[in-house]
Chains A and B, each alone.
Chain A
Amino acid sequence: MDTFLQLTVDALTLGSVYALIALGYTLVYGVLKLLNFAHGDVFMVGSFIGFGVLQLLGGTSKPVVPVWLLLVLMVLAAMVGCAVLGVVIERFAYRPLRDAPRIAPLISALGVSFFLANSMQLLFGATPRNYNIFDLANASLYTNGFNIGNVHVALLRIITVVSAFVLMVLLWLLVNRTRTGKAMRATSYDREAAAMMGIDIDKVIVFTFVLGSALAGAGGVLQSLRVPTTVAIGFVVGLKGFTAAVIGGIGSIPGAMAGGLILGFAESFSQGYISTKWSDLIVFSILIAFMIFRPQGLLGRADIRKV
């Protein structure tokens, strides 16, 4: 029972970060019908921005600001930085290819991903960066929290899950309750018709990249609070992120959240009960099963092609 609870806690932390990444994929796919391979690397850049801010503010041993402010600043800086990066990527690598055959922007995206990962390696080296959150305020982020039975739920995990969910709720409100959100939904539904109705498509797309990349940046910092980051994580993280997006139904926002959590649970439980090594295999099997039996994902619309 304790193992089960512990794994559930793990799954929630892992899943909420996956959900943040999956949202970025899903948002971009929704409006552009483009798999943004560079998204995982934006996440990676976010985790490095968080690290940079942490060092600027004195590191974990002697932070110059209160702990809560430090965390907020790290996440905010990563969100802003990644949003700018996302906009630049869209403007220069994807926009010129908007009317090209579909394979063209995908290859360009691969190039961007490769470029980002290697540029970061050029500038910051391949050594892992550890936030060393354990040193922060006498490990209070680990020792504080609450217990369920024998299982200790660290404050750090609560912070991760809660901030991820707050961001998701904000996103949901933004997409469903604002005019910009309405424009995004319209563009996602039918880009040409939306343009004819007077929606500035370019603005909507830029805004989508801002949102998606900011979420990735936040995810990068939240993830790296627990796990050291390197310049090479983008590939695997991106892979997990869009697997989550596909499982949930690519293009669907609640779907991406659900997909992220499912992936988190699948990974955590297969690692806990079956084998640490083969969890990728299990996740892959789930992906294949979805591809065969429900290609539109859990909450996605079935793709009806008009001829």
Chain B
Amino acid sequence: MTDSTPHGMHEGPAVGQDEWVARHAERRIMPSGPLGTIEDRIRRVPWWAWLILFLAAASTLPAFSSSGYVRYVAFSTVLYMLLALGLNVVVGWGGLLDLGFVAFYGIGAYAYAILDSDKFGIHLPTLVSLPLIVVVGAIVGFLLGLPSRRLTGDYLAIVTLFFLQLFQTITTNGDDAFGHNVTGGPNGILRIDPFHLGKHDLVVQHQGIFAVSYFYVALAFFAVVFVALRFVNQSRTGRAWRSQREDPLAAEAMGMPVNWLKLMSFSFGAAVAALTGTLFAAQAASVFPLTFYFVLLIIVYTMVILGGSGSQAGVVAGALIVSPLLELLRDPGKSRVIFFVGLVGGLLLMSRRSRALGMVAIATLAFGFAVHETLGAIDKSWIAGEHQGGFAGVTDHWVVAPAHLARWIAPTSYIGLIAVVLLVTLVRGRTRLVLLVPTLYLAAFVWENVMLAKPEPARYIVLGVILIALMILRPNGLLGERRVEIV
């Protein structure tokens, strides 16, 4: 249900949909006025038109930027989109918590590295190794699903998470597997072949900068995977997946092979991940164990959850948001801009509901200037910190930034910030608004002084917060439809 667009419902509920459920979707939308008409028009655009539009827009990107970095980020964003599509099959459609997903990505990458590199002197043609690796990925996924098939989601989560750990163990210690060096251990496998057709190599770097060819190959992979999965989802299998996700017992009573369906969604996801892995390995020309670990898992999960698990367009949007966001957060100057944009944007969104939030924004500004001036008057060194990058001028006069942080400040302010944020969620009404003023200022202080100094944990903290907040505030993500509970 999550993925069917409402326009299909004018001819009555789609197969497998209850009348009440179908009407629920209609009731919820109710387009009215000129804006509503536009919204309705947009909703009527078929999915393939969106896809073509997106691909066309994406393929013009190299025309706008010749920077190798931008192209590389675009390429890795497409990789993330592929991964999100694959994970969506398992989590969104199959309803299974697969925490070993990135291990299949790693399996694809390592398999390609072994089949196409100097490591063993094997150089299979790309057109042979790709299908082979996809099949291997699907089979490994199937095998991993086997022991967990009778068990509930929690057990599957454990087995798959352990599988991820096992993948780490094997790749890290695979330089001495019974005396053979198979995976290169922590040093990984280097000098992997690029994709090649006959004698023609698809080069990664062209005159020292990242060549766009891989970006286009990735886009092509994405288009194929997107369409293929779309068709699978609209087939009997797709409907069966969704029904067993909503109620395995009822699905089984209706004669659906629930275990088989679970295994299938599992190996579909694994196959997509393995395919993406080959692309990664061919482009990076080297693979290391730690690339495929918990951090990557959380990143892909955040994309799927943020976009709305179950909706293909949603998870793609999730990847499109999260991947550039993570890149921008690496740079302190851009990171500051993101923070303030996010803050102002959040306030604006909320102040549609209550005008008081506008007051909060003004009060926070005033509060900030007051604190800045007061502390500056007491001791110049409190505000002597240097700002660089975007919005530096603005923050020079607003955020307190000592030249040197005393050791106790970082933990105290960070933990204090968590405490007040949690407190804000507990209180209601005017107290909340009043409390919001120092909270926002403290957030700015912590961001400027604690988080910007260490981008690596800071950007992952942002991901963790997004995950928790989303699950609580909007578990259906941006584009996923809220599940209808039928009691």
Q: Report which A residues bind B (CB closer than 8 A).
A: 29, 33, 35, 88, 91-93, 96-97, 100-108, 110-116, 118-119, 121-124, 235-236, 239, 242-243, 246, 277-278, 280-281, 284, 287-288, 291-292, 295, 303, 307
Contact = CB atoms under 8 A, between A and B. Distances in A.
Contact of A119 (B148, B155, B461): B461
B478 to A, nearest CB: 16
A108 B467 CA distance: 6
A239 B458 CA distance: 24
B454 interface: yes
Interface string B391-427: 0000000000000000000110010001000100100
A35 B460 contact: no
Interface in B435-478: 450-451, 454, 456-458, 460-461, 463-468, 471-472, 475
B298 A122 contact: no
A236 B305 CA distance: 24
Contacts, number: 133
A245 to B, nearest CB: 9
B327 interface: no
Given A102-B153, A277-B176, A295-B151, A107 B464 contact: no
16 contacts: A35-B158, A97-B471, A101-B475, A114-B467, A115-B464, A115-B465, A122-B454, A123-B450, A124-B411, A235-B294, A239-B161, A278-B173, A280-B165, A280-B166, A281-B169, A295-B155
B470 to A, nearest CB: 8
A258 B425 CA distance: 41
A122 B155 contact: no
A110 B166 contact: no
Contacts of A239: 161-162, 165
A106 B97 contact: yes
B468 A108 contact: yes
Nearest to B151: A295
B268 interface: no
B472 A236 contact: no
Nearest to B147: A291
Given A115-B464, A123-B410, 11 more contacts: A93-B468, A96-B472, A103-B91, A108-B468, A114-B463, A115-B468, A122-B450, A239-B165, A277-B169, A280-B166, A291-B147
A292 B150 CA distance: 9
Nearest to B418: A119
B225 interface: no
Given A101-B483, A122-B450, A291-B148, A246 B155 contact: yes
B95 interface: yes
Given A88-B422, A111-B467, A307-B249, A278 B301 contact: no
Interface residues of B, number: 53
A121 B153 CA distance: 31
Contact of B457 (A33, A35, A121, A292): A121
B157 interface: yes
Contact of A105 (B147, B425, B471): B471
B157 A106 contact: yes
Contacts of A91: 422
B457 A119 contact: yes
A288 B159 contact: yes
A295 B97 contact: no
Contacts of B203: none
Contacts of A118: 457-458, 460-461, 464
A292 B294 contact: no
Contact of A236 (B91, B163, B165, B466): B165
CB-based closest 10 A-B pairs? A111-B467, A115-B464, A277-B173, A111-B468, A114-B464, A118-B457, A121-B457, A108-B471, A122-B457, A118-B460
Contacts of A29: 154
**Residue among A110, A281, A291 with the highest chain B CB neighbour number at 10 A:** A110
B471 A111 contact: yes
A278 B173 CA distance: 8
Contacts of B152: 303
**Residue among A118, A242, A243, A278 with the highest chain B CB neighbour number at 10 A:** A118
B170 interface: yes
Given A108-B467, A246-B155, A281 B170 contact: yes
Interface in B286-307: 294, 298, 301, 305
B151 A291 contact: yes
B471 A246 contact: no
Interface in B257-290: none
Contacts of A303: 152
Nearest to B463: A114
Nearest to A292: B147
Nearest to A113: B464
A36 B156 CA distance: 14
B467 A242 contact: no
Nearest to B169: A280
Contacts of A103: 91, 95, 97, 153
